[in-house]
A = this chain, B = another copy of it.
Amino acid sequence: NAGKGTTAEKYIKNHKMNSLAATAKSADNNEKVLILTPLARFYPEYWENLLKLTYPRKLVELGFIVPRSSQGDEVLKSLNKAVNKVQSSSKKDERFAKITILRQDTESLDSQSEKDRHALSVQKKRRAQMSLARNSLLFTTIDADTSWVLWLDSDIVESPPTLIQDLARHDKDLIVANCFQRYTTDDGKPDIRPYDFNSWQESDTARELMSKMGDDEIILEGYAEMATYRVLMAHIYNAKDDIHTELPLDGVGGTALLVKADVHRDGAMFPPFPFYHLMETEGFAKMAKRLGYQAFGLPNYLVYHYNE
């Protein structure tokens, strides 16, 4: 570093020294993690789960983006309370290194019920809005010394406390957990089922479909009316197999997704427009690939989505 020894040294940040330091031994190496959550609803279960994460808090920064709506006002109240409590702890190692809360200025789609927001017809607009929210959050909070970005949706209410270390030890550019949902079967038994279908390997069928699409058309996963025959990570969960089994992916979901910060710093973002017919987190995986990065998933490593 040619800047060493000069008094202007304090201005110099060694760019990408973190690419060396986003490693399998993240916590041991004091690697900084930025946890980012777009937050349309505040679930206490999400917050409790977040607080259970064992990654050293002095290395963890949190970032939230809250919609500008009356629902958002409610979220902000709950979030403020929660943040305030943890950050006013007398024990320094219980406090997070930094917390940033942003508010959107763009309006959000009105209805947010699970059924409505999954309707195929509204997906393009929704994906665009979500992408803008994610990009703003990301590019406002990422720093020169951020090693990892963990995307964690606000309705992930259960994960292993070692989530960050478990994902980081794979030392991948992008790595995503398998997002399931707890539910009660018709005969009243507790069970689990796949929730997030955005983590997949590309298929010839989908490639064929896309080759015939106009630039502005998008392909979506998890809709019967558009069968893609992609390999969906959600469908190859095996309770008996090693939780650390890796699966190379072409599309990723953002419910619990760990990304090396350099991937984002190179410019990989959540396309708010069709990018090779993909948007948001799936488009992000595609963009990362165009930049020479590879996404992976852990089919047997589960996190759980809230069940409305």
From B65, B81, B266, A15 is in contact (CB under 8 Å) with B65
A80 with B6, Cβ < 8 A, contacts A11-B101, A15-B103, A267-B272 known:
yes
* Contact A6 B140, CB 8 Å, known A103-B14, A267-B135: no
The answer to whether A140 and B13 touch across the interface, beta carbons within 8 angstroms, is yes
Asked if A101 and B12 make an inter-chain contact with CB atoms under 8 angstroms apart, the answer reads yes
Known: A15-B102, A273-B290. A136 touches B80 (CB 8 A): no
- A143 CB to nearest chain B CB (Å): 7
| Contact partners of A170 in chain B: CB under 8 A | none
List which A1-24 residues lie within 8 A (CB) of chain B.
1-3, 6-9, 11-17, 19
Instruction: Count this chain's copies in the assembly.
Output: 2
Interface: A265 (CB within 8 A): yes
Q: Is A73 an interface residue (CB 8 A)?
A: yes
Min CB–CB distance A144 → chain B (angstroms)? 5
Min C-beta distance of A130 to chain B, whole Å = 12
The number of residues on chain A lying at the interface, defined by a beta carbon within 8 Å of a beta carbon of chain B, is 58
A291 within 8 A of B: yes
Interface pair A15/B132, CB less than 8 Å apart: no
Q: How far, in whole Å, are A74 and B290 apart by their CA atoms in the complex?
A: 33
Complex alpha-carbon distance, A88 and B81, angstroms: 42
Q: A3-B76, A80-B3, A83-B11 are in contact. Are A267 and B269 (CB under 8 A)?
A: yes
- CB contacts (< 8 Å) of A265 on chain B: these are 135-136, 139-140
Q: What string of 1s and 0s marks CB contacts (under 8 Å) between A138-172 and chain B? A: 11101110000000000000000000000000000
A102: chain B residues within 8 A (beta carbon)? 13-16, 144
State the CA gap A74–B9 with chains docked (Å).
15
**Cα–Cα, bound, A106→B292 (Å):** 13
CB proximity of A183 to chain B, nearest CB, Å: 33
Give which listed residue, B16, B88, B105, B290, contacts A16 with CB less than 8 A.
B105
* Bound Cα distance A76, B270 (Å): 34
CB < 8 Å neighbour of A131 from B2, B100, B267, B273: B267
Contact between chains at A136 and B104 (CB < 8 Å): no
B interface footprint on A70-104 (CB within 8 Å = 1, 0 otherwise): 00111011011101100110000000000111111
